[in-house]
Amino acid sequence: MHTFTVWAPAASTVSLVLVDGAQKEAQKEAREMSRADGGWWRLEVPDAGPGTDYAFSVDGSNPMPDPRSAWQPDGVHGFSRVFDTAQFTWTDAGWSGLDVRGSVFYELHLGTFTPEGTLDAAAEHLDYLVALGVQVVSLMPVAAFPGQHGWGYDGVALYAVHEPYGGPLALQRFVDRCHALGLAVCLDVVYNHLGPSGNYLDSFGPYFTAKHTTPWGPAVNLDDEGSVEVRRWICDNALRWFGEFHLDALRLDAVHALADDSPRHLLAQLSVESAELSAQVGRPLGLVAESDLNDPRMVEPVADGGLGMTAQWSDDYHHALHTLLTGETAGYYEDFAAPGVFAKTLTQVFLHDGSYSTFRGRDWGHKVDPARHRGAEFLAYTSNHDQVGNRALGDRPALTTGQQAIAAALVITSPYTPMLFMGEEWGASTPWRYFTDHEEPELADAVRTGRRREFAAYGWDAEEIPDPQDPQTWRSSVLDWSEHGESPHRELLAWYRDLLALRARTDDLRDDRLGSVGITAGPDGDWLVVERGSLRIVVNLAAETAVVPVDRAPRYEVMTFGTAEVGADGVTLSGHGVAVLAV
């Protein structure tokens, strides 16, 4: 017995269409559904259950996938399949969860993390992540999207797990294995838009509204007629990942694009409901926002008028660090080259905290109050999928091995929650590019043309921009796991491991009070000294050997990348060298 339900408030008729699982083309007779309260339709089918393939026809339309489909085995245009999450036997009863604030994140894309591109293949590398010092595996979106290869941000079946990754059962296995190894799992979810291919939601109800517009077109309907059920569709999705898949946190994509003028913002609603579920299951459930607003209200409690997010990404810190090491000042990096910018983002989170943003052409952001906000509420990183993949060539930062070591030290010893992007820990030589796999020729061409036009405005030759639809663009982005044992990758990996181990055992480095951090910069900007309690992170930004003064006489050298000679007043560091000293 299985009860099928679907929300279609304006429909005159809704039919359930069942197919013979052994004969996909042998469609059975459609069965009329009954109207229920609130615009819902339902039908009990005695001979249906897990494995049954089905679709819905609204007012005589062609069969369409379920907006809450748990499984799309034949892709986003195919029939849905009934999946019972309760059939999985979990072994993580002893898992008490993890507060993701202050924990070490590792962002990975399943389709390029391994050559196989599956959840099961990724699970084979979990021991490696544990040895590295990772605490939270942060998965890019797994919601079903068109084709085989893609970033996942054009997903359209938000309740389903992309079949090429292994489907919903593989995600349960993956999370269970992570918990067995002491790893939490964060999942990237996209509630601000859906992709164009395979998006049938408009045929069911007012999932979108012309009241607001976004870069992707009409906004998801959060405050117009019918929005109560659309909000329920989103919140139920989040709670399902937490409850039925045992996930520990969700990373919410581009929440600034959630247009919501209702009395209670969707994020606040989601925060309250997640907290209630957390109390029921007895473990922390985190919500990590990606926000362009530079507004600390994002992480303030709902009871105090905030939006209740556990933490948020901090692009300003990334931009300041990137500019410090590369000298790149194009586009949104323009304001980050001024003296003192890195120091400000290290101690005050945002550069733009009410100041003028040249890139945006207006004042932007709000100040963080060190007395109220903790560093662990903000994620810091040297790179992530956006900051690499949205570059013209998908190239990783053009840094020397020494500069990469500096970047790692400044993130991992910061008061923020550190995040690594897959492969950065060994200085992966593989790029990470923008790739798609659209079946519709017109959509594929639009994506290809749009990307080339975008970068042509910055002076790039269109022929230099990798074609997102070319399988080689995806293939070139797959990590090469053979290289991390070779020099200089081997030495950089050891540095990351040692830094993360030092952070794990040192209270001063886990102190997330913004006021606990001090920083001194050389008059020419060629060196930095960061104060973290009794430790000093000493950085030579120049290519030549330099003597870097330290405020107190160093007692001993804790660890170094490059050559260092500790003296009474400081340390002599080789070019692009970094040392951690005890004082």
Per-residue CA distances from 101 to 131, 249, 300 (Å): 20, 11, 14
Q: Is 315 annotated as a binding residue?
A: yes
Q: Where are the beta strands (DSSP E) in 399-503?
A: 417-421
Give me 261's structure tokens. Answer: 């003028």
387 marked ligand binding residue = yes
Is residue 409 within 8 A of residue 578, CB to CB? The reply is yes
Are the C-beta atoms of residues 205 and 224 closer than 8 Å to each other?
no
Whether residue 290 lies in the annotated active site: yes
Q: Exposed, middle or buried, 534 (CB in 10 Å: 0-12/13-18/19+)?
A: middle
Classify residue 98 by its DSSP letter.
-
User: Which segments within 80-167 are labelled E, that is strand?
Assistant: 80-81, 105-108, 136-139, 143-144, 157-161
Helix (H) or strand (E) holding 201: none
**386: annotated binding-site residue?**
yes
**Is 192 annotated in some ligand binding site?**
no
Closest CA to 342 of 386, 382, 283: 382
Token digits for 270? Answer: 């989601």
Q: How far is CA 552 from CA 182, 534, 568, in A?
A: 39, 10, 9
84, 295 Cβ separation under 8 angstroms: no
Q: For residue 338, which of 359, 324, 355, 349 has the smallest C-alpha distance?
A: 324
438 marked ligand binding residue:
no
Tokens (6 digits) for 13: 């008729």
State the Cα–Cα distance between residues 130 and 136, nearest whole angstrom.
Answer: 10
Binding residue per annotation — 472? no
Whether 253 sits among the annotated catalytic residues: the reply is yes
**Rounded CA separation 412/346 (Å):** 12
Dihedral sign computed on CA atoms, order 249, 253, 254, 257: negative
Determine whether the annotation assigns residue 251 to a binding site. yes
Mapping DSSP to helix (H, G, I), strand (E, B) and coil, where does residue 212 land? strand
H helix or E strand, kind and range, residue 384: none
- Max intra-chain CA distance, the chain: 86
Catalytic residue among 53, 107, 253, 335: 253
Q: Is 317 within any annotated ligand binding site?
A: yes
236 is in an annotated binding site: no
DSSP letter for 33, please.
Answer: P
State yes or no: 312 annotated in a binding site.
Answer: no
Q: 400: which DSSP letter?
A: -
Name the nearest CA neighbour of 437 among 112, 171, 201, 114. 112
Is 224 a known ligand-binding residue?
no
- Is residue 557 within 8 Å of 535, Cβ to Cβ? no
389 marked as binding residue:
yes
Q: Is 254 annotated as a binding residue?
A: yes
Alpha-helical regions (H) of 225-265:
227-244
Rounded to whole angstroms, what are the CA distances from 303 to 37, 298, 308? 32, 13, 8
Q: Smallest Cα–Cα separation from 503: which of 537, 552, 480, 553? A: 537
Catalytic one of 163, 176, 188, 290: 290
DSSP-derived secondary structure letter, 104: P
What DSSP line would sit under 475-530, residue for residue? Answer: HTTS--TTGGGSTTHHHHHHHHHHHHHHHHH-HHHH--BGGGEEEEE-TTSSEEEE
DSSP helix/strand/coil, 401: helix
- To the question of whether residue 576 is assigned a binding role by annotation, the answer is no
**Can you state the angle between helices 315-326 and 341-348, rounded to 10 degrees?**
150
356 is in an annotated binding site: no
The annotated binding site for substrate is made up of: 251-256, 315-319, 385-390
Binding residues: 251-256, 315-319, 385-390
Q: Among all residues, which ones are annotated catalytic?
A: 253, 290
